[in-house]
Structure 1
Amino acid sequence: MKNKNGKEDQNLSQNANSPKEISKEEFLYEIFGIKSQVTGQHKGNLIKEVIELSSSNLGIKFEFPNRVEQMTLVEKLIELKGNHFPPFVKKFLVGYKHLDSDIFFKIITALESVLMNCCKKLNKPMGDLKKEDLHNIEFYFNVTKNTAVMFYLNKFYSKITPFCKKKNLLNRNGKKESFSHETVNECEKFLVKNGWMESSIKSFRSIIKVFFSWVCSVYKDFDQYTINTIPVWKITIDCLKDYRSYLIGLINKGELSRLTANKKIIDLRHFFSVSVHLGYSLLNMKKISNIQADSYVYRDIPSSNELQKFFNTVIEFSDNQRKDILMYQFMLYLGLRIDEVLRLKWDDINEETKTLVFKGKGEEYHRLPLPSLILSTINELPIKIKKGLVFEKPYFTNQKVSGRHRVFCLLAGTMHFNGLHIFRHTFITKLSEMQKCNPNTLRLLARHKSLNTTSKYLHRSDESLINSVNKIKY
Structure 2
Amino acid sequence: MRNLTYHKAINSFTKYLIAERGYSESTVNHYKHDLSVFGRYLEKEFDCNLEELNVTNINRFEVSEFLSDIILVKDNSPEARNRKLYSLRSFFEYLKKRNIIKNNPTDSIEASKSELKSEPIYLNEKNMEKYLEAIKNYNSKYCSRDLAINKLFLYSGLRISELVNLNLDDINYEDQSIKFFGKGNKERYVPLHQEALTAIKDYLPDRNKITPKNQDARQALFLSNQRRRISVRTIQKMVKKYAKKAGVRNASKITPHKLRHTFASLLYQKTKDLRVLQDLLGHSDISTTQIYTHTDKEQRKSAIDEMPDM
Question: Do they superpose with TM above 0.5?
Answer: yes
Q: 1:472 to 1:457 in 2, by over 3 A?
A: same
Partner of 2:63: none
Partner of 2:66: none
1:392 to 218, 223, 227: 223
Partner of 2:213: none
Query: Which of the pair has more CA radius of gyration?
Result: 1
Instruction: Answer whether contact 2:179 2:190 (CA < 8 A) is retained.
Output: yes
Matches within 5 A, 1:335-346: 335-346=157-168
Q: 1:341 to 1:466 in 2, by over 3 A?
A: same
Partner of 1:100: none
| One-letter amino acid of the counterpart of residue 309, structure 1 | K
1:298 to 103, 106, 119: 119
2:269 to 411, 414, 433: 433
Greater Cα shift, 359-368 or 177-186: 177-186
Matches within 5 A, 1:67-466: 180-182=6-8, 183=10, 187=33, 199-200=69-70, 207=85, 208-217=87-96, 221-222=97-98, 224-226=99-101, 256=110, 258-259=112-113, 293=114, 295-317=116-138, 318-381=140-203, 382-383=205-206, 388-393=219-224, 394=226, 396-416=230-250, 417-418=252-253, 419-435=255-271, 437-466=272-301
Following superposition, the deviation at residue 257 of structure 1 comes to 5.9
Higher helix fraction (1 or 2): 2
Following superposition, the deviation at residue 180 of structure 1 comes to 3.1
SS in 1 for 2:287: helix
Q: Distance in 1 between matches of 2:36 and 2:112?
A: 28
SS in 2 for 1:433: helix
Instruction: Answer whether contact 1:300 1:461 (CA < 8 A) is retained.
Output: no
Q: With the length of structure 2 as denominator, give the TM-score of the two structures.
A: 0.62
Following superposition, the deviation at residue 356 of structure 1 comes to 0.6
Q: 1:390 to 1:257 in 2, by over 3 A?
A: same
Following superposition, the deviation at residue 442 of structure 1 comes to 2.2
Following superposition, the deviation at residue 441 of structure 1 comes to 1.7
Q: Distance in 2 between matches of 1:407 and 1:178?
A: 39
Q: Distance in 2 between matches of 1:326 and 1:454?
A: 25
Deviations for 1:361-390, whole angstroms, at most 9, x for unmatched residues? Answer: 111111111111112112222258595101
Instruction: Answer whether contact 2:121 2:261 (CA < 8 A) is retained.
Output: no
Following superposition, the deviation at residue 456 of structure 1 comes to 2.1
Partner of 1:160: none
Task: Number of aligned residue pairs: give it.
Answer: 234
Deviations for 1:232-283, whole angstroms, at most 9, x for unmatched residues? Answer: xxxxxxxxxxx9xx8xxx8xxxx84651xxxxxxxxxxxxxxxxxxxxxxxx
Q: With the length of structure 1 as denominator, give the TM-score of the two structures.
A: 0.42
Instruction: Answer whether contact 1:350 1:356 (CA < 8 A) is retained.
Output: yes
| One-letter amino acid of the counterpart of residue 262, structure 2 | T
Following superposition, the deviation at residue 328 of structure 1 comes to 0.8
Following superposition, the deviation at residue 469 of structure 1 comes to 4.5
> Which consecutive residues of structure 1, in runs of 5 or more, have no partner in the other structure?
1-176, 193-197, 231-242, 260-292
Instruction: Answer whether contact 2:207 2:222 (CA < 8 A) is retained.
Output: no
| One-letter amino acid of the counterpart of residue 187, structure 1 | H
Deviations for 1:289-331, whole angstroms, at most 9, x for unmatched residues? Answer: xxxx563332343222222222222223344111111111111
Instruction: Answer whether contact 1:425 1:458 (CA < 8 A) is retained.
Output: no
Q: Distance in 1 between matches of 2:167 and 2:152?
A: 13
| One-letter amino acid of the counterpart of residue 368, structure 1 | V
Instruction: Answer whether contact 1:301 1:459 (CA < 8 A) is retained.
Output: no
Deviations for 1:414-454, whole angstroms, at most 9, x for unmatched residues? Answer: 2422221111111111111124x522222222222232110
Instruction: Answer whether contact 1:301 1:426 (CA < 8 A) is retained.
Output: yes
Partner of 2:17: none
Following superposition, the deviation at residue 191 of structure 1 comes to 6.3
